[in-house]
Amino acid sequence: MDKLKHFMIGRYGIDQLSVALLIFSLVLSLLNGFIGSTILTIVDLGAIFLCYFRILSKNLYARQQENFKFLRIWHPVKNASLRKWNRLKGMKTHKYFKCPECKQTLRVPRGKGKVCITCPKCKHELHKRT
């Protein structure tokens, strides 16, 4: 264990991009189990190689910059998926409307009869059955 600790001193280690590469390569190898493509195998090995290269790299600044670029792309994707997932979870208890004025999504509890909904963004009022 001490040898590994000593070996990892000054090296970059694991970050979000490395984990993403590892998951990507795992998904790719699972997929390749069905397809059996040589190109997928090469891409898979490339992803694993890149992952280990990044973890063991001593150029910390370059690896951080790569991770920042990755996160700048990843966060909007992750947030959009989370929003969709939360909306799916809330379908039973809430009803969703779109404000006709500003296109803001409005969430109202279900089963409250006919209600007047005021958009918090533009103060437009709409009457809907929940």
User: Which residues are at the interface with Zn ion (CB under 5 A)?
Assistant: 99, 101-102, 104, 119, 121-122, 124
* Residue 98 C-beta: closest distance to Zn ion, Å: 9
Report the number of secondary-structure helices (H) and strands (E) in the chain. Answer: 4, 4
**Residue type, position 56, single letter:** L
* Residue 125 C-beta: closest distance to Zn ion, Å: 10
Q: Closer to Zn ion at the Cβ: 8 or 101?
A: 101
* Residue 100 C-beta: closest distance to Zn ion, Å: 8
CB distance 88 to 107 below 8 Å: no
Q: Closer to Zn ion at the Cβ: 17 or 99?
A: 99
> What is the helix (H) or strand (E) element at residue 90, kind and residue range?
none
**44 exposed, middle or buried (CB, 10 Å; 0-12, 13-18, 19+)?**
buried
Q: What is the DSSP letter of 94?
A: E
Q: Closer to Zn ion at the Cβ: 51 or 106?
A: 106
* Residue 119 C-beta: closest distance to Zn ion, Å: 3
Compute how many other C-beta atoms are within 10 angstroms of the C-beta atom of residue 40: 15
Q: Closer to Zn ion at the Cβ: 21 or 119?
A: 119
